[in-house]
């Protein structure tokens, strides 16, 4: 990044902050070999926060993986502003990933949309809140590893931050997103019997049994869409994500593994979802006497929601309207770290610049105007917390 951009970033310019952050690689090393991780970006953010007078701490939450937390004393409720420092990899990108080029009213580069523009909006609003005018007690928390295992948010949650409400600036097109789905992964392992391809009397085809099970999930998916719809998220869904099995075309496969994903609704319990997968397997076993299979729950993340009439949702809508943004409340399709804040009792919604459709894309970009508007809204919302109460 050039010196002019860095100087503008230091004084809180949201566009310069975005460009400085995009120019600083923070590829998650779990997602791409050689990924730099968050260390350099965390140091940059910490330098800014510290220079603006926040009580700033950088924490190594895993080897070479870092969180940054800055605290600013104010009045009234404590507002937590959160975003993640890491990005996905750059393989396959069709533009220079770290040039942070401005063209056509957009900043282009890896992480511009997901979610360095959101980080920049937080930082710009924070800089303004250190100056004149009312301000709440403020926690700025920028976390590691959201794109993989959320190590940073788990570490933050374990530290029991004392906040009354939170905004996670994931890309939402400046719509307030108080709800998102969760997900659960299940590994299904089907055991067959290896035999020469010419001896069907001896072989048990594990791939066939896996295929029958995956086909049975079509009916399950239809059942999910027939359940009462969530007002923002509609319905859960199910699909097979990966399948592995067999050793050669001329051999009956003795094993086949399928990893299934179920997108869940707020309040759905993982054990209930696994029971539904097991019921489908049991029904198939009754028809296929030689079927042998097991299910194992893998990764699970909860869905989450904050009431639409809450101070958090309504306050953001009001602040947006003050800056010419039409009120919009929508559900978020992806799972994000806001769920973990809600789990520890801090109401959290998503609100940020950019469109999730551009996230992780080969030519990732974000609109300049949305970054500036988001910073304005965050500042107004924070000040309203003091002047109008929680």
Q: What are phi and psi of 232, to 5 degrees?
A: -110, -30
The answer to whether residues 274 and 204 belong to one domain is yes
pLDDT at position 389 is 62
Measured at the CA of 111, the angle between CA 106 and CA 117, to 5 degrees, comes to 55
The answer to whether residues 16 and 117 belong to one domain is yes
Query: What is the distance between the alpha carbons of residues 105 and 102, in angstroms, rounded to a whole number?
Result: 7
Mean pLDDT for 256-264 is: 98
Name the domain boundary from 275, 301, 327. 301
- Cβ partners under 8 Å of residue 103, min gap 6: none
Average pLDDT, the chain: 97
Query: What is the distance between the alpha carbons of residues 70 and 57, in angstroms, rounded to a whole number?
Result: 6
The answer to whether residues 212 and 263 belong to one domain is yes
β 348-350/165-168 pair status: parallel
Residue 180 has pLDDT above 80, yes or no: yes
β 75-84/136-143 pair status: parallel
Show the domain range for 213.
182-301
The answer to whether residues 74 and 107 belong to one domain is yes
The answer to whether residues 359 and 311 belong to one domain is yes
Q: Looking at residue 143, which CATH number applies to its domain?
A: 3.40.630.10
- Binned at pLDDT 50, 70 and 90, residue 120 comes out as very high
The answer to whether residues 233 and 318 belong to one domain is no
pLDDT at position 90 is 97
The answer to whether residues 217 and 160 belong to one domain is no
- Binned at pLDDT 50, 70 and 90, residue 1 comes out as low
pLDDT in tens, 123-168: 999 999 999 889 999 999 999 999 999 999 999 999 999 999 999 9
Query: What is the 8-class DSSP label of residue 193?
Result: B
- Binned at pLDDT 50, 70 and 90, residue 15 comes out as very high
The answer to whether residues 258 and 212 belong to one domain is yes
Name the domain boundary from 278, 301, 324. 301
pLDDT in tens, 50-59: 999 999 999 9
- Binned at pLDDT 50, 70 and 90, residue 42 comes out as very high
- Binned at pLDDT 50, 70 and 90, residue 388 comes out as confident
β 329-332/251-252 pair status: unpaired
Helix, strand, or coil (residue 188) = strand
Query: How many other CB atoms sit within 10 Å of the CB of residue 46?
Result: 20
Q: How many domains is the chain partitioned into structurally? A: 2
- List 116's β-bridge partners, or say none: none
pLDDT in tens, 357-387: 999 999 999 999 999 999 999 999 999 999 8
The answer to whether residues 38 and 168 belong to one domain is yes
User: Dihedral through CA 100, CA 101, CA 103, CA 106, nearest 10?
Assistant: 0
| CA separation, residue 238 to residues 24, 103, 256, 337 (Å) | 37, 40, 19, 22
The answer to whether residues 119 and 24 belong to one domain is yes
pLDDT at position 150 is 95
pLDDT at position 181 is 96
Measured at the CA of 303, the angle between CA 298 and CA 308, to 5 degrees, comes to 175
- List 191's β-bridge partners, or say none: 255, 292
Q: Looking at residue 258, which CATH number applies to its domain?
A: 3.30.70.360
Name the domain boundary from 301, 324, 350. 301
The answer to whether residues 143 and 73 belong to one domain is yes
The answer to whether residues 98 and 147 belong to one domain is yes
Kindly tell me the burial class for residue 148, based on how many C-beta atoms sit within 10 Å of its own C-beta (0-12, 13-18, 19 or more).
middle
- Binned at pLDDT 50, 70 and 90, residue 109 comes out as very high
- List 243's β-bridge partners, or say none: 258
Query: What is the distance between the alpha carbons of residues 178 and 305, in angstroms, rounded to a whole number?
Result: 5
């Amino acid at each position: 990044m050039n010196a002019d951009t860095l100087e503008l970033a230091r004084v809180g310019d949201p566009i310069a902050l975005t460009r400085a952050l995009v120019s600083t690689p923070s590829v998650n090393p779990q997602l791409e070999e050689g990924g730099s991780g968050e260390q350099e970006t965390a140091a940059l953010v910490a330098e800014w926060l510290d220079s603006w007078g926040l009580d700033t701490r950088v924490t190594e939450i895993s080897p070479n993986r870092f969180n940054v937390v800055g605290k600013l004393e104010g009045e009234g409720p404590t507002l937590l502003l959160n975003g993640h420092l890491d990005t996905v990899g750059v393989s396959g990108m069709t533009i220079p990933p770290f040039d942070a080029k401005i063209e056509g009213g957009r900043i282009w580069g890896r992480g511009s949309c997901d979610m360095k523009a959101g980080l920049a909006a937080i930082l710009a609003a924070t800089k303004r809140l250190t100056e004149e005018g009312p301000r709440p007690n403020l926690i700025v928390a920028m976390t590691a590893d959201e794109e993989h295992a959320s190590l940073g948010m788990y570490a933050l949650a374990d530290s029991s931050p004392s906040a009354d409400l939170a905004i996670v600036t994931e890309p939402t097109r400046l719509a307030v997103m108080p709800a998102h789905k969760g997900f659960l992964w299940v590994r299904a392992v089907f055991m067959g019997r290896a035999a020469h391809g010419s001896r069907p009397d001896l072989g048990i085809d594990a791939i066939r049994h896996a295929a029958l099970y995956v086909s049975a999930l079509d009916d399950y998916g239809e059942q999910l869409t027939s359940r009462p719809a969530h007002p923002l998220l509609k319905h859960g869904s199910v699909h097979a994500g990966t399948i592995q099995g067999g050793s050669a075309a001329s051999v009956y496969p003795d094993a086949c593994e399928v990893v299934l994903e179920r997108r869940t609704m707020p309040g759905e319990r993982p054990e209930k979802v696994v029971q539904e997968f097991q019921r489908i397997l049991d029904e198939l076993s009754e028809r296929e006497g030689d079927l042998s299979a097991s299910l194992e729950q893998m990764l699970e993340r909860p869905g989450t929601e904050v009431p639409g009439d809450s101070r958090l949702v309504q306050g953001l809508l009001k602040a947006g309207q003050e800056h010419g943004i039409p009120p919009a409340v929508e559900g978020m399709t992806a799972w994000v770290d806001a769920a973990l804040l809600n789990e520890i009792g801090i109401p959290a919604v998503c609100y940020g610049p950019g469109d999730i459709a551009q996230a992780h894309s080969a030519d990732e970009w974000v609109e300049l105007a949305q970054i500036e508007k988001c910073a304005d809204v965050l500042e107004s919302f924070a000040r309203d917390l003091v002047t109008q109460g929680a």
